[in-house]
Amino acid sequence: MQGDVRQFEPAMKEFTHIIHGAADSSQPRGAQDIGDLFGTIVQGTERVLAAAGSKCRGFLLISSGAVYGPNSDPANVKNAYAEGKRAAEMMAAIRALQGVPIRIARCFAFVGPHMPFDRHFAIGNFIADAVAGREILVKSDGRPLRSYLYMTDLVRALLVILTRGNVGAAYNVGSDVPISIEQLARTVDLVVGGKGVSIGGAPSTSAEHYVPDTERLRLELNFEPLVDLEAAISRTAAWYRARSDNLAMIGNIGHIA
């Protein structure tokens, strides 16, 4: 089934498990984009929650670590994504009280095949630069702290939460091992074999921190990641290199034809 999650009529009454992840995390560029972003999260969640039937044994709402954001002004349109996710979680919590077996996954940052390599995700840009033989450019001063979980561990975590998580509970999903953006760039350069790293941003007064506390996921659901960051970077770079080579080959064939 395809359609706008804010409008379509999903036939989900017979489904035993539902994963709701219909939201765009790209940065909105104007009033229309902001409205679409917020509406997709809030109206879409309301519609999918209403579609869960009596046979539903597990409903997973994919939320975001953005709900912990430092900006708490709900009238600031820059917070549309975070406020949308907070509203979605509140609707899910209410439906959990009404008997829908809802669990919430607050997702942080990830790395793996099929991720964007040319948008606002630092690790994707770094891998693309290193694979292409370019110098990795860090646009900040490199101090912000992040952490990255490999996609297979993400999938494992989501399935564990969906099937065994406590109803109504929210679990942080991500790596709890922090790394600065500069360290990340140098790790990618080392693992992939790039052309070095350049720090281009102005010094900041404090380091931004976006690293989850995953204690609930570990203790309640006995979950531990299996892939460390260096292996995750290596696997992702290998996939991206193979994809780039295939696209180049197709382009060459088309040019010859």
162 inside domain = no
Distance, in Å, from the CA atom of 244 to the CA atom of 237, rounded to the nearest integer, reads 10
Q: Are residues 136 and 80 in the same domain?
A: no
Indicate whether 96 and 128 sit together in one domain.
no
Instruction: Please check whether residue 139 is in contact with residue 184, taking contact to mean a CB–CB distance below 8 angstroms.
Output: no
98, 5: one domain = yes
* Number of domains within the chain: 2
| Rounded average pLDDT over 86-104 | 96
Residue burial 199-236, b: 16+ Cβ < 10 Å; e: rest: beeeeeeeeeebbbebebbeeebebebebebeebbbbb
Residues 97 and 116 in one domain: no
Residues 114 and 27 in one domain: no
Summarised one tens digit per residue, pLDDT across range 134-186 is 999 998 899 999 999 999 999 999 999 999 999 999 999 999 999 999 999 99
Q: How far apart are CA 65 and CA 85, in angstroms?
A: 9
pTM: 0.90
User: Based on the domain organization, do 239 and 141 belong to the same domain?
Assistant: yes
Q: Which two tokens stand for residue 206?
A: 């404090």
Q: Is residue 132 part of a domain?
A: yes
Same domain, 121 and 88: no
> Has residue 156 been placed in a domain?
no
6 domain-assigned: yes
Site of tokens 């892939």: 227
Name the residue type at position 52: A
User: Per the domain annotation, does 154 fall within a domain?
Assistant: no
Whether 83 and 50 map to the same domain: the answer is: yes
> Does 132 share its domain with 255?
yes
- For residues 123 and 94, membership in a common domain is answered with no
The CATH number linked to 67 is: 3.40.50.720
User: Quick check: is 163 in a domain?
Assistant: no
- Which range, 119-128, 159-168, 238-247, has the best average confidence (pLDDT)? 159-168
* Per-residue pLDDT tens over the stretch 178-227: 999 999 999 999 999 989 999 987 776 666 889 999 999 999 999 999 99
Cα-flanking dihedrals φ and ψ of residue 85, to 5°? -65, -40
Residues 26 and 116 in one domain: no
Range of the domain at 181: 110-148+175-211+228-257
Same domain, 27 and 48: yes
Asked if residue 81 is part of any domain, the answer here is yes
Which CATH number is 142's domain given? 3.90.25.10
